[in-house]
Amino acid sequence: MSDTLLDEYVFIQNRELTAALTSEPTTPGHVIVNLASPLFINTAETKHVLEVIRQIARNLRDVTSSKRCGMAYDGDKLLHVIPLHGLQASWSAILDSEKEFHKEFPGYLSTKSGPELNKEELDDMQKCITAKSGLSHDDFDTNFHGDLTDNNLFTRIIRGGLPQWRVWENSSHVAFLTPFANTPGFTVLVPRKHTSSDIFSLDTDDYNALVEATCSVAMLLKRSLNLEMCGMFFEGLEIDYTHAKLVPVHIHTTDRELLKSPLKEDFHELYRGSISTRLGSTSYPAKELHEMTRELRSRFQV
């Protein structure tokens, strides 16, 4: 078991995963989940694991009195469920003004935006990925399953009304490169109908359809970019529309040690516009951790 995952804070443990409050959180109630095997290898297993993660997020939201939780997955066997504290009752955008860009894996993944990429870089990456997906610009399906007056950024992309670097699609979802990637190949996946940006609040059918689509896109990115791993985030405070962020992990085999000791970041009481796969830099009071653990165990009948 990881040094950051202590038995006294475990509230779920089975053959597929172990979930616990971390003693080194980035925010109150930060949960880490050690997976028995990485996501995206088997779609059915990924759906089952991410259904458990959805239940964790919903219960953690209630225990921490937060409005919603985000998820950060490192592409290997560590997943974070992070309460997003300080949100208003009605949705409003919260953006992190700090930007970053890494051509190679720096030891963590995050949802911070990067500086705007030029068209040539995006064109080249699109060609690399669509060479495997088989998607061509002439074949884009611009069907949006909703009100045609909906002016959301993602609905306009789906309908083909904005410049875009689409790399994959099916009858219910569309994936495209973001021009503000923090690493090459950073991809956004959206459904063709306008549903909530709070992914863990989606109904079961919409949630499962999104998870199935993330598996397809993650496997596509791994094949086309020659990757061993692909990370993923659920967050939803930049655009008010369901979207998953799929993040290529550009790492050499000799650099895999970077995954064994997650890097640290400062502790924040409130959500500041991004989340990451890092842990916190300071220990959290044991009394509060024990109280939250007891509540979560009671909810999961541990």
- In a domain, residue 262? The reply is yes
Tell me the C-alpha distance between 220 and 218, whole Å.
Answer: 5
Tell me the C-alpha distance between 82 and 107, whole Å.
Answer: 19
Distances (CA, A) of 257 to 30, 61, 96, 225, 253: 23, 33, 29, 21, 9
pLDDT value of residue 252: 72
Residue 194 clears pLDDT 80, i.e. is over it: yes
Distances (CA, A) of 162 to 142, 151, 217, 240: 11, 11, 21, 18
- Determine the structural domain holding residue 236 and report its residue range: 7-299
Q: What is the pLDDT of residues 230-273, one digit of tens each?
A: 999 999 999 999 999 999 999 875 555 655 566 899 999 999 99
pLDDT above 90 coverage of the chain, percent:
93
Total count of domains within the chain: 1
Please give the average per-residue pLDDT across 117-123, as a whole number: 98
- In a domain, residue 290? The reply is yes
pLDDT value of residue 255: 58
Nearest to 114 by CA among 170, 186, 174: 186
Q: What is the pLDDT of residues 12-25, one digit of tens each?
A: 999 999 999 999 99
Query: What token pair was written down for 106?
Result: 């720096």
Residue 175 clears pLDDT 50, i.e. is over it: yes
CA 280 from centroid of its chain's CA atoms: 18
Tell me the C-alpha distance between 192 and 178, whole Å.
Answer: 17
Look up the pTM and report it: 0.95
Residue 1 clears pLDDT 50, i.e. is over it: no
Q: What is the pLDDT of residues 23-76, one digit of tens each?
A: 999 999 999 999 999 999 999 999 999 999 999 999 999 999 999 999 999 999
- In a domain, residue 153? The reply is yes
- In a domain, residue 38? The reply is yes
- In a domain, residue 1? The reply is no
Asked if residue 104 lies in contact with residue 251, where contact means CB atoms within 8 angstroms, the answer is yes
pLDDT value of residue 260: 59
Residue 4 clears pLDDT 70, i.e. is over it: no
Nearest to 85 by CA among 233, 217, 224, 267: 267
Tell me the C-alpha distance between 221 and 72, whole Å.
Answer: 18
Residue 191 clears pLDDT 70, i.e. is over it: yes
Q: What is the average pLDDT score of the chain?
A: 95
- In a domain, residue 30? The reply is yes
What CATH number is associated with residue 259? 3.30.428.10
Collect all residues with Cβ–Cβ distance below 8 Å to 292 and sequence separation of at least 6: 21, 29, 63, 64
pLDDT value of residue 293: 98
- In a domain, residue 2? The reply is no
Strands 264-265, 279-280: pairing is parallel
pLDDT value of residue 3: 45
- In a domain, residue 192? The reply is yes
Residue 285 clears pLDDT 70, i.e. is over it: yes
